[in-house]
Structure 1
Amino acid sequence: MTTPTDTSAAAALIRAFVLSGDSLSDRAGLAAFLRKHRLVTEGAIPITLADHSEAVTLRDGLYAHLRHAAGGQPDPETVARAQRVLDGLRVTVRLAPGEAALSPLAPAVVDEVRRGLARIAGAWAAVVATGEWRAILP
């Protein structure tokens, strides 16, 4: 059970992702982020420019949404582009997600990068379900 001062693993992942800044400026940075947060398996990760663009679009949209919730100005186009990325990710619901799972939502894709993004989507679903998303940004 968490207390109001505790941050769930899902919220910690979303916070790290939206605050990743320049560390996602290239494909190598994206690969490092995905590995660091155990969103992909070890080994080579072929990341296309389209993969990188989707990751940055998702990151920017989540950040824009969180900034708006924290009282900032909304950027509807940035949020809409991120929503299109989320719409394209395939996830499935696990009956028994396991203790280490961020969410009962699990990737339903084979591609490593999209699997990592689907895990971020699952974490987002978890923080939205708990209301924890409102406290991710100060």
Structure 2
Amino acid sequence: MSTPTQTSSAAALVQAFVATGDTLSDRADLARFLREHRLVTEGAIPITLADFEEAVSLRDALRALLRRASGAPAEEDVIARGQRVLDGLRVTVRLEPGEDPVNLLAPAVVDEVRRGLARIAAAWAAVVATGEWRSLKP
């Protein structure tokens, strides 16, 4: 008998983001994803084309990393684009993150889209730190 494992909220968020595939095809889809996962506040979210492209680049890089871990060829250019997105996000470390590891890194930006991406980055940091990323599917 195998012991069931429970996915952390960080892993669930990363998995959901990576799995968006064709459902993340425009700015409205990005707004919907950010709202559904409570990554932004309610209300209007002005999303530029550059915001959308950054989100897709980050999603594609995470997917490429997961595929590489499962034996697929490395997509270094895709991963590099995603890293540039992460390099541009401003986050701060919380001394008391509470129960949820996603809260360890907090967005240090006011732009709603970038705050949402920073929360996804925090989730990625949490699953990498725990090794849980290895169980995620590309």
Q: Which category of TM-score, normalised to the shorter sequence, fits these structures?
A: over 0.9
Counterpart in the other structure of 1:34: 34
Indicate conservation of the 8 Å contact 2:101/2:123, yes or no: no
Using the TM superposition, give the Cα deviation of residue 101 of structure 1 relative to its aligned residue in structure 2, in angstroms. Answer: 5.6
Pairwise CA RMSD: 1.4
Identity of aligned residues (%): 73
- Aligned partner of 1:54 in structure 2 is 54
Aligned counterparts of 2:61 and 2:67: Cα–Cα separation in 1: 10
The 2-side partners of 1:130 and 1:108 are apart by 23
Note the C-alpha offset of 1:13: 0.3
Scaled by the length of structure 1, the TM-score of the pair is: 0.94
Deviating above 4 A after TM superposition, structure 1's stretches of 4 or more consecutive aligned residues are none
Length-normalised TM-score, structure 2: 0.94
Contact 1:103 1:125 in 2 (8 A): no
List per-residue Cα deviations over 1:92-112 (Å, max 9, x = no partner).
Answer: 001122335623100000000
Q: State the Cα distance separating 1:4 from its structure 2 match.
A: 6.3
Task: Give structure 1 stretches of 5+ with no counterpart.
Answer: none
Q: Is 1:102–2:102 an aligned residue pair?
A: yes
- Go from structure 1 to structure 2 and tell me whether the alpha carbon gap of 1:43 and 1:100 turns closer, same or farther (over 3 Å shift): farther
Which SS does the other structure have where 2:92 is aligned? Answer: strand
Note the C-alpha offset of 1:44. 0.4
- CA separation of 1:118/1:100 partners in 2, compared to 1, >3 Å: closer, same or farther? same
1:18 maps to what in 2? 18
